Amino acid sequence: MIAEKSTITHNLLEQLQKHAGKIAFMPDAEIVSAIRHLESKGVPNNKHEDYKYCNIESVLRKEFKQVEQELNTLTSNDITPLKLEEAINLVVVNGNYSEALSEKMIVKGLTIKSLTELSSSEKELLSSQAKSETDALIALNTAFSGNGIFFQVEKNNVIPMPVHIIYVNSGNSNFVTNARNFTHIGASAEVTLIESFYNIGSSKVFSNFVSEKFVGENARLTCYTFQNEGSLSYSVNTNQVKVSKYSNYTNNTYTLSGELVRNNHNVELAAENCEAHLNGLFITNGTQSVDNHTLIDHQKPNCESNELYKGIAKDKSTGTFNGKIFVRKDAQKTNAYQSSKNILMSDDATINTKPQLEIYADDVKCSHGTSTGKVDTEALFYLKARGIGEENARKLLLQAFAQELIDKIEVASLKERVLHLFEKAL
């Protein structure tokens, strides 16, 4: 098995190197180290504990044995339907920031650049929190990263409108894309960031996205992740986040399509009196698989975290939630809560849940829970008895189940889009 794993990794590296460009922000030593890690460890399969229900090696072997990289050139007409009207819309095409397709707006305290345009002082802000040795997919991204976005809000600035980054892939033959961004929120700054993911091409794409986010002291970063990439997409999305003293980080993830979607969300609560809130909603159908994998690392005292993930699995699809709360010895007075709730819509659908607590402090309040079942038959009977047809009654119950998470969206056009597509998926 090891020989096979090395072979597929070697073949993939050879093919990607044909198309890779030199990205100036990534040091040569880091690229070499990433490639060595890939060659040594290989691509994860279901024998890796963290990827037990998400066999990346199998996907690459079956769907991406040959990578051609015949990419499409997109125009503003292709992007317009994907924009949000009350936001600043930025565009990343096949892993590379497109200034031509992005909206140009000067906002005090906001800096948006491609990674190859960074000044020396800006390069010093790159956190390098996502370490190649921790995950082969981070190593793959590090070795072959596109020219992504550097996003900075300077200290004491509140950005009055949301910033919307559209990650769109489009090609005519199977290809692999590695998008990367760095988000730096200065002290006492505040911003809402929306990241949307689409595939509008005619070919299959393996999208490997890495985002490093730093939230400065007394700052607030509110994020929405919207995933609607369709049945031709296989994606791994890694968020590596570091939160400072008195700061607040919130992320709401909505996954409505994608043949395989793996979300890695790792948050370090690295100082006292900071907090993190992770929420997720997914609906799967066909043979689709969605895997949400979270880690919240409580490193200091008096911090709080909350997680709520809900899923609806239909047909022969699979949903997974694997969440871990890690409380270090010094993290006294920690409050941490985690919940996973799921509904199975067919006998062939599968839900895997694994909430975890690892606690080394003795003065904490931590809890986790999970529940998986079918639509409440009593509630269904109650609605049908009042003249509502079974199909509509079932939809009402599923909408009520999801509404708690949809109501967390404070951007009107995004909320409308999520609600419309969620109802369509039902």
According to DSSP, residue 65 is labeled: S
Residue length of the chain: 426
Backbone angles phi, psi at 423, to 5 degrees: -65, -40
pLDDT tens, the chain, 426 aa long? 333 445 566 676 666 666 555 555 666 777 888 888 888 888 888 888 889 999 999 998 888 866 666 787 899 999 999 999 999 999 999 999 999 999 988 899 999 999 999 888 888 887 678 888 889 999 999 888 889 999 999 999 999 999 999 999 998 888 899 999 999 999 999 999 999 999 998 899 999 999 999 999 999 999 999 999 999 999 999 999 999 999 999 999 999 999 999 999 999 999 999 999 999 999 999 999 999 999 999 999 999 999 999 999 999 999 999 999 999 999 999 999 999 999 999 999 999 999 999 999 999 999 999 999 998 888 878 887 888 888 888 889 999 999 999 999 999 999 999 999 999 888
Global pTM? 0.93
Query: What six digits make up the tokens of 138?
Result: 């981070």
Residue ranges covered by each domain of the chain:
2-271, 375-426
Q: Please check whether residue 200 is in contact with residue 233, taking contact to mean a CB–CB distance below 8 angstroms.
A: no
> 2-19 and 56-63 helices cross at what angle (nearest 10)?
60
User: For residue 420, what pLDDT is reported?
Assistant: 93
Tell me whether strands 110-114 and 149-153 are parallel, antiparallel or unpaired.
antiparallel
Q: What is the DSSP string of 313-344?
A: E-TT-EEEEEEEEEE-TT-TTEEEEEEEEEEE
Tokens for 40, please give them.
């040594």
- Looking at residue 2, what is its pLDDT? 37
Q: Which of 384, 366, 367 is nearest to 375 (CA)?
A: 384
3-state DSSP assignment of residue 393: helix
Place of tokens 């040091």: 27
One-letter identity of residue 21: G
pLDDT of residue 34: 84
Residues with Cβ < 8 Å from 418, sequence gap 6 or more?
226, 254, 256, 406, 409
Q: What three-state secondary structure class fits 12?
A: helix
Q: How far apart are CA 234 and CA 211, in angstroms?
A: 17
> What is the token pair recorded at 123?
């390069």
Taking the CA atoms of 306, 246, 330 and 49 in sequence, report the sign of the dihedral they define. positive
Cβ-contact 398, 426 below 8 angstroms: yes
Please report, for residues 45, 50, 195, 336, 419, the alpha-carbon distance to residue 321 in angstroms, rounded to integers and kept in the order given. 17, 11, 21, 17, 22
Smallest CA-to-CA distance from 57 within 19, 12, 15, 18 is with 12
| CA atoms within 13 Å, Cβ hemisphere of 225 | 25
* E strand residue ranges, 154-189: 163-169, 175-177, 180-185
- What tokens does 352 get? 């895997």
Q: Count Cα neighbours of 270 within 13 Å in the Cβ-side half-sphere.
A: 16
